[in-house]
Amino acid sequence: MAPPTILICDDEPTLRELMRVSLGDGYSFAEAADVAEAIELANTVHPDLVLLDVMMPGGTGLSVLEHLRSVPALQDVPVVVISAFTADRDHLAAYDAGANGFLKKPFDPDELERVVQELLAPAGG
Residue 22 as a binder of another protein (CB under 8 A): the answer is yes
Is 40 a binding residue for another protein by CB under 8 A? The answer is no
Please name the amino acid found at residue 45.
V
Told to check if 84 binds another protein by CB under 8 A, we report yes
**Is the Cβ of residue 28 or residue 86 nearer to another protein in the bound state?**
86
Compare residues 67 and 104 and give the one whose CB is closer to another protein: 104
Instruction: Give the one residue of 26, 40, 55, 117 binding another protein; rule: CB under 8 A.
Output: 55
The C-alpha atoms of residue 24 and residue 94 are separated, in whole angstroms, by 26
Q: Which amino acid is at 49?
A: L
Beta bridge partners of 50: 7, 79
Exposed/middle/buried for 91, CB within 10 Å: 0-12, 13-18, 19+?
middle
Q: Smallest gap, in angstroms, from Cβ of residue 102 to another protein?
A: 14
